[in-house]
Structure 1
Amino acid sequence: MKHRYSSFIPLINIATDMLLLNLSYFVAYFYNYDDFNGVLQDPYLSLWGVINIGWMVLVFIIKPYVFSRVQFSTSHLELRFLTLLAVHGALVSLYITATQGYYFSRLHLALLYSSFFVLGSLWRVVFVWGLKQYRLHGYNHRSYIVVSGTEKAESLTRYYDMHPELGMNYLGYFGNKVTSPLYQGTYADVIPFMKEYAIDYIYCYGGDMDTRAFKEIADAAYEMESEVKLLPDYIDIPNRLDVEYHDYIPIFRYLPQTFYQTREAYLKRVFDIFFSCIVIVGGFPFFLLLGLATKITSRGPAIYRQRRTGLMGKPFTIYKFRSMKVNAEQRHSLGETDERITPWGHFMRRTRLDELPQFFNVLKGDMSIVGPRPLAGYDIDILKRDMPEGYRLLVSVKPGLTSIGQTLYGYASNAREIKERANIDLTYAPSLQEDVSIIFRTVRVIFAASGK
């Protein structure tokens, strides 16, 4: 059986949750009664049994630890954990009501669930972080190939390259056209390749592939315990597709959604205000020093203002520490060779310190801490012409002070780079965990002065 150790991941989480549940139960009891005299005597012995048996039953029903690699994140685990806690609490309440056990301490139960929530949440953060580090060091990897659809293969491999913590190794492309750098052969070569390299995932694009070839590959994959995944024709549409089945016929429902919905937008706004206030208040002396250094090193104002495009295409004024000479031509930076940038400006751009005044844009509500970079006029013209759907999605969310494209790619100086960075920003999946991760990447860029 392939990857037999992966089956231990749910078992580790089940065992840890059981340990934390019982630890919380006994600690809450001791805090409430200041001893353990009656903790394993009726009626608390019966309550302890119901709590443990109820939890195990719900674990096997809800399956809170079964996720794909892409979904195995703190946010997904936390959501399942909260669901499990709520159902378990309702189950225990039903037991108390049915047995008329109103003598049970409400404080004990409140402490039990609150402490278990804190400990369980911390465990999920640590476990997901540890598993990602484990994969980044070359362990727990999976191999995959793409069959048919060269452009789809490039989009998929680019996504996995952007997320090395998923541990996905691309071994090649199969199709009738030799257009991919890792071209391995035609459809007839797929099954021998699968057998030789024990491929874990086979991504098939049906647009150029006949049913007979797909059926042969799918049957072989089943025998080799490999998983087949389909890339639909609509992969280039930057919206979500909801699938529903009419008997065995999959029907895709087009959902014109933006990057995130109301709940995520509210949480991001709370986080933006909290984080910005901390940075502005705590770093205000540093802001003054940067402004003074900008004034001393070149003639002109310390703060530079420019019109950018924000949410839903609405223009706003962005603030930055001035890194160019006064009255510089309004076009993209050419990098280290750009004569418009001052020596001090080069340093601020490499460390991203010129972006710090945008925390005031965040407080005003024009921007978020993390999101696609705010677009200038020349960016908009290029993206509207060459990536209209991508542009629409980029402006459906507040622009960010930093972005995944900014940390991994940097500044863009021509049409090709503008589109490449936009494609990277389109891989952004808004969540608190993702935002914190991007913030840490930005901090590394600042201290290493490695910004492009």
Structure 2
Amino acid sequence: MIRLLDFLFALLGLVAGFPFLVILFVIGLFDTGSPIFRQERVGRNKKPFILVKFRTMSKDTASVASHLASSASITKFGHFLRKTKLDELPQLWNVLKGEMSLVGPRPGLFNQEELTQAREAEGVYFVRPGITGLAQVNEIDMSTPELLAKTDKQMIDTLNLSNYFKYIFMTVSGKGSGDRVAK
């Protein structure tokens, strides 16, 4: 049932939001010259997939977790995208393709070994990663791998339709601040 909802909401979001996505893309062209950011992430069953987002940092920023990146790397438009969470919209494509869910553990990087091990121990990789979830609405990010893995497991164990919609609503209404970035 959740996969069907993911597919329908992602399709609706991409179709209805297409003009808005184009506007953000064009503004991003002027901001960084390359508005789409692609990065290999750890997916379901630890299979790699390419996550798609709007670029919020300069193109020469190292490929590390957000909490390890310098805030000086974030562009002015990138700050706006992150604050409004609009940088996440292109991930609807990942959801449509079945690589992600709207609700699930945020996909980490393969070089985040501590997080990968903690999530593996909690059995987190048996589900699709998501755009939002319990950790995100509670401002728990990848800088605390053990806590994040435990929170992801708690979300997986209690995920039902009610919580699915609750996490989406909380995210859209501004709960949670996203990944921290080093000052």
TM-score by length of 2: 0.87
Aligned mate of 1:368, from 94, 101, 109: 101
Q: Report SS of the residue matched to 2:12.
A: helix
- Aligned-residue offset at 1:297: 2.0
Aligned to 2:22: 288
Q: Contact (CA 8 Å) 1:351, 1:450: kept in 2 or not?
A: no
Aligned to 1:439: 168
2:121 equivalent to 1:389: yes
2: distance between equivalents of 1:334 and 1:372? 17
Q: Contact (CA 8 Å) 1:404, 1:424: kept in 2 or not?
A: yes
Q: 1:441 to 1:420 in 2, by over 3 A?
A: same
Aligned to 2:131: 401
- Aligned-residue offset at 1:335: 8.0
Q: Kindly provide the CA deviation profile for residues 14-58 of structure 1, in whole angstroms up to 9, marking residues without a partner as x.
A: xxxxxxxxxxxxxxxxxxxxxxxxxxxxxxxxxxxxxxxxxxxxx
Matches within 5 A, 1:80-119: none
Aligned to 1:271: 5
Q: Contact (CA 8 Å) 1:324, 1:340: kept in 2 or not?
A: yes
Aligned mate of 2:159, from 425, 430, 440: 430
Matches within 5 A, 1:185-224: none
1: distance between equivalents of 2:70 and 2:60? 18
Aligned to 1:92: none
- Aligned-residue offset at 1:404: 1.3
Q: Report SS of the residue matched to 2:41.
A: strand
Q: 1:295 to 1:361 in 2, by over 3 A?
A: same
Aligned to 2:38: 305
Q: Report SS of the residue matched to 1:316.
A: strand
1: distance between equivalents of 2:10 and 2:83? 22
Aligned mate of 1:324, from 57, 62, 80: 57
Unaligned ranges ≥5, structure 1: 1-266
Q: Report SS of the residue matched to 2:108.
A: coil
2: distance between equivalents of 1:333 and 1:398? 21
Q: Contact (CA 8 Å) 1:336, 1:346: kept in 2 or not?
A: no
Matched letter for residue 62 of structure 2: E
Q: 1:386 to 1:394 in 2, by over 3 A?
A: closer
Q: Report SS of the residue matched to 2:50.
A: strand
Q: 1:324 to 1:411 in 2, by over 3 A?
A: farther
- Aligned-residue offset at 1:336: 9.5
2:110 equivalent to 1:377: yes
2:92 equivalent to 1:359: yes
Q: 1:385 to 1:314 in 2, by over 3 A?
A: closer
2: distance between equivalents of 1:401 and 1:294? 21
Q: Contact (CA 8 Å) 1:409, 1:421: kept in 2 or not?
A: no
Q: 1:285 to 1:354 in 2, by over 3 A?
A: same
Q: Report SS of the residue matched to 2:173.
A: helix
Q: Kindly provide the CA deviation profile for residues 279-315 of structure 1, in whole angstroms up to 9, marking residues without a partner as x.
A: 11111111111111211123x3111100011110110
Matched letter for residue 377 of structure 1: F
Unaligned ranges ≥5, structure 2: none
Q: 1:419 to 1:368 in 2, by over 3 A?
A: same
2: distance between equivalents of 1:439 and 1:420? 21
1: distance between equivalents of 2:52 and 2:119? 27
Q: Contact (CA 8 Å) 1:406, 1:421: kept in 2 or not?
A: no
1: distance between equivalents of 2:5 and 2:28? 30
Matched letter for residue 73 of structure 2: R
Whose Rg is larger?
A: 1
Q: Kindly provide the CA deviation profile for residues 57-81 of structure 1, in whole angstroms up to 9, marking residues without a partner as x.
A: xxxxxxxxxxxxxxxxxxxxxxxxx
2: distance between equivalents of 1:420 and 1:404? 12
Identity fraction in percent: 36
Q: 1:360 to 1:440 in 2, by over 3 A?
A: same
2: distance between equivalents of 1:388 and 1:366? 18
Q: Kindly provide the CA deviation profile for residues 316-356 of structure 1, in whole angstroms up to 9, marking residues without a partner as x.
A: 11100001111211212248952221121122112211110
